[in-house]
Structure 1
Amino acid sequence: MCPKDSVIDDAFAAALYGDGDEGLDTGASLLAAAPGADAELRRRGEEYLRRAWRGGWQPADVVRLVRRDLAEPHVRLAAELILAETRGYAHLPPRWAHQLADLDPGSEPARPRDRFSYATTHLQLYRLLLRLPPIEPVGPPPGETVPGPVEGEPRALTRIRALLAKAEATGYPEEAEALTAKAQELMARHSLDEALLAARTHAKDVPGACRVGVDAPYETAKAILLDSVAAANRCRAVWNEAFGFSTVVGFESDLEAVELLYTSLLVQGTAAMTKAEAGQRAAGRKRTKTFRQTFLLAYAHRIGARLARAGEHAVREAAEAAEAAEGSGGSAASLLPVLAARDVAVTDRTERMFPETTTTRVRGATDGEGWAHGTAAADRAHVAPRDRGPALP
């Protein structure tokens, strides 16, 4: 065994398997006195990342958890290690390219002021990585990916993205309402087109899954909002409260729509909440936390019904259009069975991934003004109450 390996092993034995600071300090002291072990220290970090990938984790999941539980130097270090480790693969799983593009380790490597701090940052990060439990995979780990055809983004999604960006940017509620409504209409039509195309060509299209971050504060309201968006787009969402994300299960075109619309609605809702809260403070109210919580719950509550109605309207329109189309050959009659079959497939995949789920009771909707303002904001976003909270694994 090389001396550097011995130092690493002794430091890790002291620091990574206990909860207190004493072992962490001991391990950091050993590493601080052995600068020749730095390369092996980084290599061990990449090894922990490979273990995380095999356990179902993805880059965005790891960074989200590091940001929540540690500090900014740990986030930069995690980004450096992830980017270095993933360069070794010829092909990466779907969605990883976007996740890696969002990582920002900074222009310079993460180097704290002294070697003890440098070592401590590594050991604190590695302790977190070592304790990551296996989770439900939403795709293959790197190294097991077969490259597919490279295709551009469907035109419908490009239009949807542009509409939602305009809705987020406008200062006029009526314009935001119209833009968001148009985006949801396009999403529904795109989903129906994809479903019919897959049925007609007998494509072996199966549901997939992705993870969407659900960050504090007010994460229950955010999870309900995501649940509503997922349901309206023929997907299912299961919230993992402990790790700050929901797993969304559905067909690929629907998953992309859910990510886009949820992000946009959260931006619009947060902006509306901030504006309404400022008005409340100007009027002399100080219960801002209760106001925000109730606002977002009402917003999510109202959004669900509006999106569900939009989806039902799109299905009716598509069926009527198929019925009226010359030579449709019974396309309208085949639409509902196709959608029903896809719903069954999504439900089956969700139940196989999460054989045991529960529901969570929603608390905190106690501010009348917050509820009224949140409902009004949802109406302006043009996007019913849900009888339960989001599913929990």
Structure 2
Amino acid sequence: MSAGRGTIDGVTSTASTVERAFRAALYDDTDTGLDSGASLLAADPAADAELARRGQEFMAGAWRRGWQPADVVRLVRRELDEPHVHLAAALIRDQASHDGPRGRRWAAQLAALPQRPEPERASDRFSRATAVLRLYRLLLRLPALEVLEEPRRDPGPGASRMLGRIRALLAKAEATGYPEEAEALSAKAQELMARHSVDEALLAAGAPAPDAPGACRIGVEPPYEQAKAVLLDAVATANHCRAVWNEPLGFSTVVGFEADLEAVELLYTSLLVQATHAMTRAEAAQRAGGRKRTKTFRQSFLAAYAHRVGDRLATAAGTQVTEDLLPVLATREISVADRLERMFPETTATRLRGVSDAAGWTEGARAADRAQVTARPPLE
């Protein structure tokens, strides 16, 4: 029997190698334990298949605890390094091949996984084993999340075409260097979102079994994530949804009906891109004038942008729907609130912190005014 390795009927047990590596590395937070586990795996190439199989088990366990592919990739990118992100993506793909279909949103997350990197010319087994064990250590410690259910009704080709038009308009708004053009494109996109939402509401209200509200998670990435969470909350509220921010894990859970969730994802992403472009231009002008407080300027800019956009969205929210549609939307808002309460029975409010740059606040408010995301005609 080889030193440090078990045998079963004269055959080396690769599972024994993996188990001993796990005992050394996964249940010990020290680098010493990690090195010990990586050394065991590096010395036993026959253990690679078992190591990969156990990784799939860890990933399946993450799904049972409410995680989704995008959630795992987001956390791995936040806590570890880019090689770990590619390892996680490979595990997710491998697990998906043994998994049944989980819905359209899940499939979209699988399609958006980082592409496989080019294979390394020289293979360092110890370094790779160390990276794998770091990833597994993180997966083992994932907390339980709220389970998100996919919508029961297929949105159909009409909805897909509408969302395609909205995406195209927002992409043009993000790309243009002319504020007036961005304003017009964003306004048109918001109008289409509103009409799409109401059409979905009327369709569901007349169906034998109306859809229940669902939920999705949207990443709220550092830096300045508090201001970004406020912006997302404003967009969600304006589109008949509710958002709950999980600061430690870097995302907000948005609860609402599927058409509205799609609108929130699209509009939040577009506003964030437009805010970043506007902030970069405003910051360059400030630097040209001799100012150097970059961090406080950016933080105050995004906080003001989120606050001002929220005000504009809230003001417009009461003027978008005709009176005959109010009962339908009120019923849906009650359903959303009930779903939110069941998912998050305990929540706390938070306030924006660290907003101290007057110039940043002024420029952020101006950028929000230029975005003109609420300029859409009343619905008929």
Shared fold, TM over 0.5:
yes
Deviations 1:159-195 (A, max 9, x none): 2112111111111111111211221122112111211
Aligned twin of 1:13: 23
Indicate yes or no: 2:140 matched with 1:134: no
Matches within 5 A, 1:322-361: 332=324, 335-361=325-351
Q: Shift of the alpha carbon at 1:158?
A: 2.0
Q: Shift of the alpha carbon at 1:155?
A: 3.0
8 Å contact from structure 1 (residues 273, 374) kept in 2: yes
Aligned twin of 2:273: 267
Q: Which moved more, 1:150-159 or 1:22-31?
A: 150-159
Identify which of 252, 255, 268 aligns with 2:258.
252
Q: Give the aligned residue type for 2:132.
A: H
Aligned twin of 2:156: 151
Inter-partner Cα distance in structure 2 for 1:111 and 1:117: 14
Q: Give the aligned residue type for 2:226.
A: T
| Aligned-partner SS, 2:53 | helix
Aligned twin of 2:248: 242
Q: Shift of the alpha carbon at 1:107?
A: 4.4
Identify which of 82, 95, 101 aligns with 2:105.
95
Deviations 1:202-246 (A, max 9, x none): 442110000000000000000000000000000000000010000
8 Å contact from structure 2 (residues 18, 47) kept in 1: yes
Aligned twin of 1:291: 297
Deviations 1:326-382 (A, max 9, x none): xxxxxx2xx211111100000000010000000112111111100010000001111
Aligned twin of 2:355: 365
Matches within 5 A, 1:56-67: 56-67=66-77
8 Å contact from structure 1 (residues 185, 310) kept in 2: no
| Aligned-partner SS, 1:135 | coil
Change (3 A) 1:200 1:93: closer
Aligned twin of 2:189: 183
8 Å contact from structure 2 (residues 243, 253) kept in 1: yes
8 Å contact from structure 2 (residues 86, 117) kept in 1: no
Deviations 1:14-64 (A, max 9, x none): 100111101001000111100110011111111000000000000000000
Q: Give the aligned residue type for 1:271.
A: H
Q: Shift of the alpha carbon at 1:157?
A: 1.7
Aligned residues: 363
Deviations 1:250-274 (A, max 9, x none): 0000000000000000000011101
Inter-partner Cα distance in structure 2 for 1:160 and 1:344: 27
Inter-partner Cα distance in structure 2 for 1:151 and 1:39: 41
Indicate yes or no: 2:30 matched with 1:25: no
Q: Give the aligned residue type for 1:63.
A: V
Identify which of 79, 83, 93 aligns with 1:83.
93
Inter-partner Cα distance in structure 2 for 1:230 and 1:90: 31
Change (3 A) 1:150 1:91: farther
Aligned twin of 1:36: 46
Indicate yes or no: 2:175 matched with 1:169: yes
Q: Which moved more, 1:230-239 or 1:102-111?
A: 102-111
Aligned twin of 1:51: 61
Change (3 A) 1:275 1:203: same
**What TM-score, normalized by structure 2, do the two folds share?**
0.91
| Aligned-partner SS, 1:95 | helix
Inter-partner Cα distance in structure 2 for 1:350 and 1:150: 22
Indicate yes or no: 2:205 matched with 1:199: yes
8 Å contact from structure 2 (residues 66, 147) kept in 1: yes
| Alignment RMSD (CA, Å) | 1.9
Q: Shift of the alpha carbon at 1:309?
A: 3.1
Q: Shift of the alpha carbon at 1:131?
A: 0.1
**What TM-score, normalized by structure 1, do the two folds share?**
0.88
Aligned twin of 1:391: none
User: Which runs of no fewer than 5 residues in structure 2 stay unpaired?
Assistant: 1-7, 375-380
Aligned twin of 1:390: none
Identify which of 351, 364, 372 aligns with 1:374.
364
Q: Give the aligned residue type for 2:110.
A: L
